[in-house]
Structure 1
Amino acid sequence: MTLPVLPSFVRDRTELDGFKLYRSGGPNGAKKVGCVVLVTIDTDDEATARAWVDSVFVALSSEPNPHPGGISAAFHIREDGKQVINYAEWVSAEDHAEALSDGNGVGSVTTDWRRVQNFPGVRQGGFVRYQPLAQVQAEVE
């Protein structure tokens, strides 16, 4: 699967122009990043954005079957508080596609994930898979 290059507003995992990093995390252990997924979420305001991200971390911590291809997630909130971008790192684009294949998103069907999916004041905006920055930088050199 050929992936596009990350858009120019993405400086790195922790820096996106016009956004501030709110929370990030991932499992311990080094896995090679083969795909970056930018997930866009529209929110009513910054308080809603922060509360939604916090609910994602609750769901992640209680996930009974984490997908082994997921590496990390860094949640950035736009300066006006009305959008969240999750910079998610995956082992491969295929791993991400597999995690979504059951139609329930990346998490299991749990109360915590249902809360994330039905959070008041939040609208799913979609996602795009990209080449990781390290791969793009290596191709340039």
Structure 2
Amino acid sequence: MTLPVLPPFVRSRTELDGYTLYRSAGPSGDEEVGCVVLVTVGTEDEATARAWIDSVFAALASEPNPHPGGISAAFHIRDDGKRVINYAEWVSAEDHLDAVSAGSNGVGSRTADWHRVQNFPGVRHVAVERHQPPA
């Protein structure tokens, strides 16, 4: 699978032009990054963006079956508070596709915490894009 390069506003895992890093997790090991997934959601405001990201971390902490291909996640909030981008590193695009197909509407299991993430008030899904990792 040939992946597109990252858009120019993405400088690194922790730096996106026009966005501020809010929370991140990983990487925890020596896994080689084979795919960067940019997950974009729209939010009503910065408070909603922060609350939604916090709910993702709660769902990740309670995940009974974490997918082995996930390496890290870095959540950035756009300067106006109305958009979040998760810069997620995966071992491969196939691992991410497997994780998404195993969940009910995303990478998580069918738990109450993930249901809350997927149905969070004031949040709407915008896009999921897979890219080549930076050179």
Indicate the TM-score class for this superposition, using the shorter chain for normalisation: over 0.9
Q: Distance in 1 between matches of 2:126 and 2:26?
A: 22
1:117 aligns with 2:118: yes
- Does residue 94 of structure 2 align to residue 94 of structure 1? yes
- What is the RMSD of the two structures over their aligned residues, measured on CA atoms? 0.9
- Structure 1: gaps (5+ residues): none
Structure exhibiting the larger radius of gyration computed from Cα positions:
1
Cα deviation, residue 101, structure 1: 1.1
Task: For residue 29 of structure 1, give the secondary structure of its aligned residue in structure 2.
Answer: coil
Structure 2 counterpart of 1:110, which letter? T
Q: Is residue 15–residue 21 contact of structure 2 (8 Å, CA) maintained in 1?
A: yes
Q: Is the counterpart of residue 37 in structure 1 residue 32 in structure 2? A: no
Q: How far is the alpha carbon of 1:103 from its aligned partner?
A: 5.1
Number of equivalenced pairs? 134
Task: Give percent identity, aligned residues only.
Answer: 75
Name 1:21's counterpart in structure 2.
Answer: 21
Tell me if structure 1 keeps the 8 A contact 2:103–2:110. Answer: no
- Give, in angstroms, the shift of residue 27 of structure 1: 5.7
After superposition, where does 1:74-93 map in structure 2 within 5 Å?
Answer: 74-93=74-93
Shift of 1:102: 3.3
Q: Describe the superposition over 1:1-25 as per-residue Cα deviations: whole angstroms up to 9, x where unpaired.
A: 0000000000000000000000000
TM-score (normalizing by structure 1): 0.93
Q: Which runs of 5 or more structure 2 residues have no equivalent in the other structure?
A: none
| Runs of 4 or more consecutive aligned structure 1 residues displaced over 4 Å after TM superposition | none
Which one-letter code corresponds to 2:29 in the other structure? G
Between the aligned partners of 1:99 and 1:78, the Cα distance in structure 2 is 26
Range with greater deviation from structure 2 (64-73 or 20-29): 20-29
Q: Distance in 1 between matches of 2:14 and 2:20?
A: 8
